[in-house]
Structure 1
């Protein structure tokens, strides 16, 4: 299987590397995993694909490693809006700074903190590191979506 297929949008539930999550969880103490499945949820409270996390309210301190397919912009917009409504949302996303979602919701949003990840992450049971750089985006409460 080629890496392009291995990381294609056909698979939506890549598991966050546990040690990577644990370090962020020690800082933020997450209360909700907004995009999970029963086998990869990182919080006791989580939304699955069947729950449709985009249609649910995100409250508290939220972890989100969203599906990396074409709908990722909707997840980023939801995170920014949830922060406007009082949540703290921490997302792990590809560092694709040329996309509309980055420009519309991250780069010029004073409530968004960007932390670029050094190196390439290895997700779940992948046999190789991701073929793209990653970033952690922290949307703090308040501001504009």
Structure 2
């Protein structure tokens, strides 16, 4: 879930972009073990077979007291992916979490990831790489365990989880969170496609139906 700078795409859509499988595979290869929970996803974009989704997604589908929803569709019931909670910011996370947060909520999700790491849960985030901004210096540098800098930009999926966005005009980075807090965050460069280069051809069950 990401955003284009100065894009004309609806804000709601920008906040729901999905991670590509190549990007997710690289993140998992760098993390070193399988992710157990995707804390910010929808059925069409989930990368782990257990995931949290938003209350807004549920209201859009099922409706609320003020309006009728658009209804559920077959893609909402992926037999290989299970919704295990709503509103990740109010739920406890688990060890080995994966998080590609909505752009507009990224600072809240970073604070949540830091709190979860202090509570003993490790995981990885995919974030817009903006190391000169105040929010990055305040929330990431000196708090995260490591920052993995790719050699270029990753693409993203549209909200359908299939169509690749074109011309993504911002860099991304993987941010590692662990209980080990050293007050220093090393920056580690790597080449995209590291999963395949390491011999990890991640073919996930979820990818077969994504």
Shorter-chain TM-score category?
0.7 to 0.9
- Residue 35 of structure 1 is matched in structure 2 by 40
Structure 2 unaligned blocks of 5 or more: 56-85, 158-162, 183-210
TM-score, normalised by the number of residues in structure 2: 0.61
Q: Give the direction of change, closer, same or farther, for the CA distance of 1:97–1:23 in structure 2 (3 Å limit).
A: closer
Tell me which of 46, 68, 72 is aligned to 2:51: 46
> 1:21, CA displacement in angstroms?
0.8
CA distance in 2 between counterparts of 1:117 and 1:55 reads 31
Following superposition, the deviation at residue 142 of structure 1 comes to 4.0
Partner deviation per Cα, 1:84-105 (whole Å, 9 max, x = no partner): 0011120001011233332222
* 1:101 corresponds to which of 135, 154, 159: 135
How many residues align structurally? 141
**Cα separation, 2, equivalents of 1:115 and 1:9:** 27
Q: Aligned partners of 2:121 and 2:109: how far apart in 1?
A: 14
Q: Which has the larger radius of gyration?
A: 2
2:113 is paired with a residue of what secondary structure?
Answer: helix
For normalisation by structure 1, the TM-score amounts to: 0.86
Unaligned segments of structure 1, at least 5 residues: none
1:85 to 116, 119, 137: 119
- Rounded Cα–Cα distance in structure 2 between residues aligned with 1:10 and 1:131: 18
- Aligned partner of 1:116 in structure 2 is 149
Matches within 5 A, 1:37-76: 37-50=42-55, 51-69=86-104, 71-76=105-110
Structural RMSD (CA): 2.2
Aligned structure 1 segments of 4 or more residues deviating by more than 4 angstroms: none
2:205 equivalent in structure 1: none
